[in-house]
Amino acid sequence: MTNERQGTLIGIDVGGTKIEGVLTDGSGAVLATHRVPARPGDTQVVGDVVAVCRRLSDAPLPVGIGIPGQVDSERGVVRDIVNLGIVRLDLAEEVGAALGTPVRVENDVNAAALGAAAIVGEPVPAGQDFVFLNFGTGLAAGIVRDGRVAHGASGAIGEIGHIPVDPNGLPCPCGQHGCLETVASGGAVARLWPQGEPPMPDLLAKAAAGDAEAGRVLGMVVHAIGDTVQIVIQAYDPAVIAIGGGMAKTGRPLIDAIAAELDRRAAASHFLRTLDMPGRLRLLPADEPIGAIGAALAAKVLGQ
């Protein structure tokens, strides 16, 4: 497929099981999509990304790639992606050499934050933040400021899942105990409520039906999600918080449960009532290629 329309971009979302690509215009509107299974190994990842790009367009368009692991966005180097068997890979250099085009690489949550901001479509005043909360296997935040991803001094900005809130709590793979991610994530809910398929909708339904154990587990999860939202609001004071990730597929009942928890907290605190925490929440649609769209938008900086 050829598309030389000015401002057209390619975005690639590299996951542990699939590589999804989109062709977009400069606003993030999707013009075409293509998806292939992900294969582990440096050569396979580079080759599959290149093949998806060529399927989307045979014109040399700017390419943005969102990928998990440790990402040096300035150099386009990725490290320690266990599910893909990558230790260190000069992803931007290798893909760019194969395609003859500039390539920008971002952490997958950061890329998804850009995509989420485009899909929500609410203007955020200059100097204020848009935060994407990814409740997936883990828990992380992406922060968008003035249309660009915030990286922080070391790239660790948004690693909210590894804030320890309970030193006597569950062990976390990061080496700490009681991190938010151990309770407020899709992976945590699957461990705490293994009989549900999918876990979060089942947990909500069983708790609503009066199941005592479901009520106990749901109370833990929603309290931890409330902690997450409150920490984000008090740390970043964002205009909008977009809820995404696998857990967001639960839909409106999840947002209602979070809002009820935030309202409960505000009822006891005038300070929290002034923050209007529930009013900042937005639920992202489950069927949009948010990561790939955001990766494409990340590539816009290549032409600036």
Whether residues 279 and 294 share a domain: the answer is: no
Q: How far apart are CA 251 and CA 189, in angstroms?
A: 16
Residues 60 and 167 in one domain: no
Region 120-147 average pLDDT: 94
- The whole-number pLDDT of residue 6 equals 61
Residue 268, domain extent: 122-283
Distance CA 285, CA 293 (A): 13
Paired residues of 281 in beta bridges: 241
Q: What is the predicted pLDDT for the residue at 220? A: 96
Q: What mean pLDDT comes out for the span 165-192?
A: 95
Same domain, residue pair 158 and 295: no
24-28, 34-38, 111-115, 217-221: which range is least confident on average?
24-28
* Whether the bond into 198 is cis, omega within 30 of 0: yes
pLDDT of residue 26: 86
Same-domain pairing of 68 and 40: yes
Q: Which of 103, 13, 1 is closest to 295 using CA atoms? A: 13
Q: Is the pLDDT of residue 7 over 90?
A: no
Question: What token pair was written down for 170?
Answer: 């569950």
Burial of 90 (0-12, 13-18, 19+ CB in 10 A): middle
What's the confidence (pLDDT) of residue 218?
97
In this structure, what token pair is assigned to residue 220?
A: 């833990």
The residues near 17 (Cβ < 8 Å, ≥ 6 apart) are 37, 38
In whole angstroms, give the CA distance from residue 173 to residue 205: 30
Domain CATH number, residue 73: 3.30.420.40
Q: Read off the pLDDT of residues 215-240 as tens digits, 9 standing for 90 and up.
A: 999 999 999 999 999 999 999 999 99
Nearest to 250 by CA among 187, 183, 203, 293: 203
Asked whether residue 1 is assigned to any structural domain, the reply reads no
Tens digits of residue pLDDT in 57-114: 999 999 999 999 999 999 999 999 988 999 999 999 999 999 999 999 999 999 999 9
- What whole-number distance in Å separates Cα of residue 304 and Cα of residue 173? 39
Nearest to 67 by CA among 53, 54, 57, 80: 80
* pLDDT at site 93: 98
Residue 136: inside a domain: yes
Domain annotation covers residue 74:
yes
